[in-house]
Amino acid sequence: MPKYDTKYVRVSKVKELFVEEDKKIRIAGDAKDLVHEYLDKAVAAAAKELIDKLPRKSKGSSKGELKRITIQKDDFN
């Protein structure tokens, strides 16, 4: 199986995510690529969700286009 190249999550930070209370959860060597791929997909899905929350135009020839391209604090409410 070819090694998975991470896109969004730094490999050096992944271990910090897998702590439950005071227990560190280990990732088996053959599961590391799958974990990295899973986390990349989760980050990509979360980014798409944020983009989908942005307001869109509802009329005319530009229907469905973004009204603004800046994610603002209010988008998290």
**What digits encode the pLDDT tens for the residues 9-58?**
898 899 999 999 999 999 999 999 999 999 999 999 999 999 999 999 99
Whether 19 is covered by a domain: the verdict is: yes
Whether 40 is covered by a domain: the verdict is: yes
Task: Specify the pLDDT at position 47.
Answer: 95
What's the pTM?
A: 0.78
Looking from the CA of 75 toward its CB, the CA atoms found within 13 Å total: 14
The residues, any chain, with a CB within 8 Å of residue 39's CB and separated by 6 or more, are: 6, 8, 9, 14, 17
**Residue range of the domain that includes 62:** 11-76
Burial status of residue 28 (CB atoms within 10 A of its CB: 0-12, 13-18, 19 or more): exposed
Whether 5 is covered by a domain: the verdict is: no
The secondary element (H helix, E strand) that includes residue 19 is strand 19-20
Task: Specify the pLDDT at position 1.
Answer: 64
Number of domains in the chain: 1
